[in-house]
Chain A
Amino acid sequence: EVQLVQSGAEVKKPGESLKISCQTFGYSFNTYWIAWVRQLPGKGLEWMGIIHPRESHTRYNPSLEGQVTISADKSITTAYLHWRSLRTSDTAIYYCARGATGHDGFDIWGHGTMVTVSS
């Protein structure tokens, strides 16, 4: 069964760093993109960026570029979303989602990681 299993909820203070993960199972990790999508409290969905694990090719939403880093570790079929310095405005649910090359929708989603940033 294809699954994306995300790391657990996090509570952090402004200025702290954080890396959340999305471990994949049941398919060839190197043949699909992994996207990160965030959902601010009570709001809609925002695409943050995407990585292709084979070459670690990444693309970011220009509105977020420089604020987060997306990476992948092929040896453990896991993608990551990393902040060097969190802000309270980063409080959100973060989803990873799988996408095929050439785009045919994001067909498998993780369960989401709730990140709370508060002083």
Chain B
Amino acid sequence: DIVMTQSPLSLPVTPGEPASISCRSSQSLLHSNGFNYLDWYVQKPGQSPQLLISLGSNRASGVPDRFSGSGSGTDFTLKISTVEADDVGIYYCMQARQNPPTFGGGTKVEIK
């Protein structure tokens, strides 16, 4: 299985400031079609996960443009340009390049 490694495990943030989460995969997620099969999800307290970013950099419907995804191959980043209090939760990356899809261990974003 492809191993997904996220850092940091915990990210205290100040509202109004930027934040960044890293995700690394043990194998390349770049397909020959040019897409990186890497998604980002957030699980807010007491809720189901929700899709933020698909295929490395495509924002899902309704996701604010404060969120952006970048990277290729084995190194990916989720950036929040300006953190809001509602952004607290656990952020997961997930690879869909190879079966079975696998998730990173999660990054807990909390307000300082």
Interface residues of A (CB under 8 A from B): 35, 37, 44-47, 59-63, 95, 97, 103-107, 109-112
Contacts and interface: CB of A to CB of B under 8 A. Distances in A.
A105 B51 contact: yes
Contacts of A61: 100
A45 B92 contact: yes
B46 to A, nearest CB: 10
Which range contains the number of B residues in contact with the other chain? 20 to 34
A111 B106 CA distance: 19
A104 B50 CA distance: 13
Contacts of B37: 103
25 contacts: A45-B41, A45-B43, A45-B103, A45-B106, A61-B100, A62-B100, A63-B1, A97-B49, A103-B37, A103-B55, A103-B96, A105-B51, A105-B54, A105-B55, A105-B60, A106-B39, A106-B41, A106-B51, A107-B51, A107-B60, A107-B61, A109-B48, A110-B48, A111-B48, A112-B48
B101 interface: yes
B93 to A, nearest CB: 10
Given A103-B96, A105-B39, A107-B61, A95 B106 contact: no
Nearest to A64: B100
B108 to A, nearest CB: 11
Given A104-B54, A105-B39, A59 B49 contact: no
